[in-house]
Structure 1
């Protein structure tokens, strides 16, 4: 919280108030049927709740700016603001489309606009209630609702010693957002219960500052894997999104973060590779610094491949999936499997009943799960933590378990 632009926040609050006014006047056809006492009570509850959230948000924001820290209280009021806003926005959108229809209808009725349909209003209220409950779950339980995603991947040239070799991946910890130690510990126990042969972390350990991981080093240090624990950096790890006093301070922050990876037992791969050896055979594990369209292109895959036998079986850790989309999938040297994160699935969407949708799909063609191109695979982890919105709705935090297998001859 070293730098906050207040003007966009002011504009956002004005927009929120406009949505509130639109939503409340949309209730008018129902309110006029109630008595004066009931109408006044609803008015007081509606605007009292909105006022409490806005004033509390502004008060905690002012305090957080003074101490230059994103406080737990501010996070909670941001959540309340978002849940309140999204709930009413759903109702307002339905009203808006109905009002467009009413406006068109008025043209054919001599300028007389028909009244709002009460059935539509009730449907809007029902949808708003469902959204409210979904977001309420998301900011309380959903953000720690860890899910294990398991899949088997088959390769013609996987060394025989690595048949049934188990990779466990997490990504996007964003330690500065955590607010429940026991819930995080359950997630780490769930990682260890998968009994990984190899554990990998694909970037964004913190939101902005290396110190965010300090309370959690011991917990993540308890992750175990037979053949080691490896990691790479993500776009947030470089401290690019806050204002530093000078370049030296920013550089020191990054050096501290690299040390904290080591303190957790993670071998950080910075455009490097490691050879994972088993029963006299080996696979190459590559790791690059962050490379992403619009998020910095520091990574150098050529450096990571330096000294690697082109015929080796290769796995790449690269935080941003656009690296695979733009470069890796068509690289002359075959990289069999790329593991990424970054998108979080936007922490909001639907993955049920055969439906897989999130607004993030309009930014990333591949945003979660498996993608394949010419027998080269990309797997995008949905993230272990959360950022911005302190919750998850429909897109749950993920622990990925990939079992490597040889294709049948």
Structure 2
């Protein structure tokens, strides 16, 4: 972001935060209006502005630090956590207050029309609406507190059984464990991370794949976790690809050479993890004399680096081969993969994190990610070709997860028609 863009962003941030602080303050004033002691009311009001004004100042300073350093680090994550918690909490409160304001303005308009200006009085706020707004907004507040402290390590296994008529008989029942978006630079609790690794190991799958974003910015971020993640092994191998964060594009480097050196170092980390890094290529997985092709491409995404070369990865494969593609960004499937003349039966992606915030139940799913990615999590199918989007193992920027838990995917390949 250039200097002018940074200034515009910060001004907009200050105005937005001030507006939210002022609007929610209307509920605070209404709720405290019943307190007879004026000094106590003034103390509460003053305390409100001290707390939320300080948060606004802290967040603005934090963004200045981010713009200066060119990256989000551990010292700036805390402010971002508080900022997101406060903003979401306040927005929920504002929804109730704004709804009440619509009703109040309608009542005022009708009253003015019927009674004229002489007897007109604008309806006051209802204390019960303000109390309700504050109570309901406490739900996202405590959800974010949980997500920041516990939710980011609340690892879940998502199991999917997918049927393919073209699957070779020998691979009927073949299992794949997938993790994605480790973002090792965000981790602080090795013991909590190990629980997720142990959960991945316990699936005892035939094949293990990692679908990109090993780090946030720099190759060295994975160093404290090399031994831990290298524990994940599978009889038919461990394979990996690159994600958009692995290229070092989101941090300032002293020179092009330094950035290039970091990238080469990042690629070497995969071998230290005992992961075979697939760079626009494929490998043949053989079982009982039958074969499937596992392809892996560099990052390809709409709005992000589009370096992956699918055609190169497909060299020496045939339409009749059963193929699985590792591609970090699910937009690749939408744009190139699902309609490719050389059929790719299953694509495994990550990238979205499900925005680390939302609702994920068997009945209802929602996340802000859906407004950017039509396929933001889970399994989708089109014309017999499947995409699975993993919600990510780690986290970035916001160091928490609310409703969208870190995921380990277990996929079982089955021979035959879909039974869904």
What band does the TM-score fall into relative to the shorter chain? over 0.9
Matched, 1:165 2:174: yes
1:88 corresponds to: 90
SS of 2:157's equivalent in the other structure is strand
Q: Which moved more, 1:262-271 or 1:37-46?
A: 37-46
Aligned residue number for residue 336 of structure 1: 345
Q: Which residue of 2 aligns with 1:387?
A: 396
**1:18-167 equivalence runs, <5 A:** 18-34=19-35, 35-57=37-59, 70-110=72-112, 112-167=121-176
Corresponding position of 1:16 = 17
Q: Is the CA contact 2:10–2:60 (under 8 Å) kept in the aligned structure 1?
A: no
Alpha-carbon displacement from aligned partner over 1:103-123 (angstroms, at most 9, x marks no partner): 233222226321112222122
Partner of 2:115: none
Show CA shifts across 1:124-176 (max 9, x none).
11111111111111111011111100011111121122121110001111111
- Give the distance between the partners of 2:165 and 2:362, measured in 1 at CA: 33
- Structure 2 distance, partners of 1:64, 1:375, is 45
Give the drift of 1:310: 2.8
Aligned to 1:313: 322
Following superposition, the deviation at residue 59 of structure 1 comes to 6.1
1:356 aligns with 2:361: no
Which residue pairs with 1:255 in the alignment? 264
Deviation, 1:58, is 5.7
Question: Cα offset for 1:264?
Answer: 0.6
State the 1:379 CA deviation.
0.3
Aligned counterpart, 2:231: 222
Q: Which residue of 1 aligns with 2:382?
A: 373
Quote the Cα distance in structure 1 between the aligned partners of 2:109 and 2:67: 52
1:55 positional shift: 4.9
Give the Cα–Cα distance (whole angstroms) in 2 for the partners of residues 364 and 233 of structure 1: 19
The answer as to 2:195 corresponding to 1:186 is yes
Q: Does 1:323 align with 2:325?
A: no
Aligned to 2:158, the other structure's residue is in SS state strand
Deviation at 1:42, TM superposition (A): 2.0
Counterpart-to-counterpart distance in 2, 1:232 and 1:71: 24
Distance in structure 2 (CA, Å) of the matches to 1:352 and 1:88: 25
Partner Cα separation in structure 1 for residue 59 and residue 384 of structure 2: 50
Deviates more, 1:34-43 or 1:294-303: 34-43
| Equivalence for 2:221 | 212
Is 2:27–2:134's contact at 8 Å kept on the other side of the alignment? no
| Cα 1:179/1:44, change in 2 over 3 Å | farther
Query: C-alpha offsets along residues 54-102 of structure 1, whole Å, 9 cap, x if unaligned?
Result: 4555666677778776443321222122212221221122212321332
SS in 1 for 2:205: coil
- Per-residue displacement from partner, 1:195-218 (whole Å, max 9, x unpaired)? 121110111111122222122111
Q: Find the aligned partners of 2:276 and 2:392 in 1 and give their Cα distance.
A: 20
Give 5+ residue unaligned stretches, structure 1: none
Q: What count of residue pairs does the alignment treat as equivalent?
A: 409
| 97-106 or 54-63: bigger deviation | 54-63
Deviation at 1:398, TM superposition (A): 0.5
User: CA contact under 8 A between 2:148 and 2:401: conserved in structure 1?
Assistant: yes
Residues 37-67 of structure 1: per-residue CA shift (max 9 Å, x gap)? 4313422442333244345556666777787
Of 330-339 and 244-253, more deviation after overlay is shown by 244-253
Give the equivalent residue in structure 2 for 1:301: 310
Q: Hey, what does 2:411 align to over in structure 1?
A: 402
Q: Per the alignment, in what secondary structure is the counterpart of residue 383 of structure 1?
A: coil
5+ residue gaps, structure 2, are 113-119
- 2:284 maps to 275
